[in-house]
Amino acid sequence: MAEVVRLEEVAKVYTMGEEKVEALKDVSFSVVPGEFVSIMGASGSGKSTCMNILGCLDVPTRGAYLLDGVNVGELTGNQLAEVRNKKLGFVFQGFNLLARTTARENVELPLVYAQLPAGRRRSLALDALARVGLAGREAHFPNQLSGGQQQRVAIARALVNRPSIILADEPTGNLDSKTTVEIMGIFQELNRQGITIVMVTHEPEVAAFTGRQIVFRDGRIVSDTRNEAALENAAAEGGNP
């Protein structure tokens, strides 16, 4: 099976004054289509740096990152922007919705950048909102939606371009426990539909919803395990083992 993501001996070194800080140290792993992976670790473990590289927001100091078989380190700035728009969907802790823009219009934003016609944008946005349970809320503004509903809009926005992979950075960090379970249920359902998801979290309760858990410490991977309970549940409901 072709890999969506492949990191080969990736290191990231930041220069802070005269000191060099190695945030990632020869990290290697791959993600295949249909996986639901959580990246875990304490603050300073390297998980956020890894997510920035996966999201083409940063590039390795050494090593290689291949996305759909393309070496990201060899792309220009414009090519990276195109990759972020067409191949990656992002979900953040803070939702990042435009306050004076409706749910539908927020979801349409990646399609505007992709220069799709207005009618096509509207159709795709409505479909994405329906997939996350927000049919009928398309004309609502963010301040008319609960935190969980706002995160659903953000997930729909990440979905709308039909990316190769969704990257979620602490997507439940601003939500209460009940809403967290609802949002993770949405991610699980999308994964059962074949969508590849990589999620950063520091909460074991959230990682338990994912089929694979990669743990970072001091810039290195210290464990990479399959969550058999989540995988069996996904298989029983018709998902990707």
Q: Which two tokens stand for residue 172?
A: 């439940």
Q: 118: which residues sit within 8 A by CB, 6+ positions away?
A: none
* All structural domains of the chain with their residue ranges: 5-238
**pLDDT score of 144:** 97
* Chain CA centroid to CA 239, Å: 19
Q: Where does residue 219 fall: left (phi above 0), alpha (psi -120 to 50 degrees), or beta otherwise?
A: left
One pLDDT digit (tens) per residue for the chain, 241 residues: 689 999 999 999 999 888 999 999 999 999 999 999 999 999 899 999 999 999 999 989 999 999 999 999 899 989 998 898 889 999 999 999 999 999 999 999 999 988 899 999 999 999 999 999 999 999 999 999 999 999 999 999 999 999 999 999 999 999 999 999 999 999 999 999 999 999 999 999 999 999 999 999 999 999 999 988 777 776 676 655 4
Q: What is the pLDDT of residues 180-227, one digit of tens each?
A: 999 999 999 999 999 999 999 999 999 999 999 999 999 999 999 998
**pLDDT score of 232:** 75
Residue whose pair of structure tokens reads 């080969």 in the numeric block: 8
* Side chain identity, residue 68: D
Phi then psi for 52, rounded to 5 degrees? -65, -35
CA distance linking residue 222 with residue 199, whole number of Å: 17
CA distance linking residue 55 with residue 159, whole number of Å: 15
* Side chain identity, residue 4: V
Residues forming beta bridges with residue 224, ordered by sequence position: 214
Does residue 52 sit in helix, strand or coil? helix
CA distance linking residue 171 with residue 151, whole number of Å: 8
CA distance linking residue 37 with residue 161, whole number of Å: 21
**pLDDT score of 1:** 64
**pLDDT score of 204:** 93
- The closest alpha carbon to 160, from 180, 183, 140, 190, belongs to 190
∠ at Cα 241 (132, 6), nearest 5°?
Answer: 85
* Residue 234 and residue 240 in contact, taking contact as beta carbons nearer than 8 Å: yes
CATH architecture under which domain 5-238 falls: 3-Layer(aba) Sandwich (3.40)
**pLDDT score of 239:** 57
**Model-wide pTM > 0.75:** yes
* Residue 124 and residue 155 in contact, taking contact as beta carbons nearer than 8 Å: no
Q: Which two tokens stand for residue 52?
A: 């920035």
Give the torsion through C-alpha atoms of 203, 93, 187, 10, to 10 deg: -70
Q: Count CB-CB contacts under 10 A for residue 21.
A: 11
* Residue 188 and residue 207 in contact, taking contact as beta carbons nearer than 8 Å: no
